[in-house]
Amino acid sequence: MKPKILVTREVFNDVLEYLSQYFDVTSNQPDLPMDAETLAANLADKQGAMITLSDKIDATLLSRCPNLKAICNIAVGYNNVDIEACRKAGVMATNTPGVLDDTTGDFTWALVLATARRLTEAEAYLRAGQWDRWKLKQFLGLDVHHATLGIFGLGRIGQVVARRAIGFEMKVIYHDVRRAVSEIEEASRARFVSKEELLSQADIVTIHVPYSPATHHLIGKQEMERMKPTAILINASRGGVVDDVALIEALLSGTIAGAGLDVFENEPKLNPGFLALKNVVLAPHIASSSKATRHKMAMLAAENLVAALTTGHPPNLLNPV
């Protein structure tokens, strides 16, 4: 008998076909939302699951899934999974590192350029039929070329973002919990600075750190007050790394000039304050969403699940024992 697995959200057909060669698959192709109770009920008799970042895996859920051996996240970030609880329950947890770095880095630049040059605000004005003449001082923005880019987190995605900055002839500074090795600093042409220095010097601050209790509200009121009033803040990492209430206040009061955001606290229920602001570019957590990359992510999660339940050695194991 094939092991039973659950795929919690809609995935590509060929990924399901691949999984079906190894498993008795229960899938959710209609993409119906699953609350905690539905997820637990559907997982109760399964040995494995392919999940997304909206599915919360914690000790309570695991206690209801005695047969579960593997949880494979279709995401590189895994703050939705309690890794320690998985370890205690003997459940392997995996993620999808590497395959989305370039695409997420590209999208970060979409946010940088759209925010700096006020693209969505200008488009809304044009669509509303308000454009009656060319004006010298219309939608004056921030120059990206030769500006100073400040990167929080020079991991895989932060490095991609830094390398893209070379084309804009920017000065790149970064801060991280640990200084990168010199090869990475050289390839990224990035100089390590303190958190305070980054905030006060950067024209564009972009965040590429994982969410954890240590990075909760890494950027809050105090941090925004250190930034230049002309600076913009970009977040394509995780909601909760930025204090959204403080950000809305900073955007309203002119503490900073703008923000480009792909992620939010309590997403998808973003703070309605954002919707009333003109100086913010908003996206629904799509930084990794190119067709090719989302396919690679789903296939890598599937490969992790197959390896976990056949060999016990998935390539992207997060909690080796």
Catalytic residues: 238, 267, 285
Q: Which stretch binds ligand GLV (CB under 6 A): 73-81, 129-137, 174-182, 201-209?
A: 73-81
Of 62 and 100, which CB lies nearer to ligand GLV in the complex structure? 100
Under the criterion CB under 6 A, does residue 75 sit at the interface with ligand GLV?
Answer: yes
Residue 209 contacts ligand GLV per CB under 6 A: no
Which of 25, 85, 93, 100 is close enough to bind ligand GLV by CB under 6 A? Answer: 100
Distance set, CA 145 to CA 164, 191, 216 (Å) = 12, 18, 31
Q: Which of 34, 50, 76, 205 binds ligand GLV (CB under 6 A)?
A: 76
Residue 71 engages ligand GLV in binding (rule: CB under 6 A):
no
Candidate ranges 75-83, 141-149, 166-174, 217-225; the one touching ligand GLV (CB under 6 A): 75-83
Nearer to ligand GLV, 167 or 213 (CB): 213
Q: How many CB atoms lie within 10 A of CB 45?
A: 13
Q: Which two tokens stand for residue 75?
A: 């995401």
Of the listed pieces 20-28, 31-39, 72-80, 151-159, which binds ligand GLV according to CB under 6 A? 72-80
**Nearest distance from C-beta of residue 15 to ligand GLV, angstroms:** 16
- When the beta carbons of 7 and 227 are compared against ligand GLV, the nearer one is 7
250-289 mask for ligand GLV (x: CB under 6 A)? --------------------------------------x-
Planar angle of CA 35, 37, 43, nearest 5 degrees:
100
Asked if residue 215 binds ligand GLV (CB under 6 A), the reply is no
Q: Which CB, 147 or 209, lies closer to ligand GLV? A: 209
Q: How far is the CB of 241 from ligand GLV (least distance, A)?
A: 12
Site map 30..59 versus ligand GLV, x via CB under 6 A:
-----------------------x------
77 binds ligand GLV (CB under 6 A): yes
Paired sense of beta strands 70-73 and 232-235, if any = unpaired
Q: Site size for ligand GLV, by CB under 6 A? A: 6
298 binds ligand GLV (CB under 6 A): no
Task: Please give the residue ranges that form the binding site for ligand GLV (CB under 6 A).
Answer: 53, 75-77, 100, 288
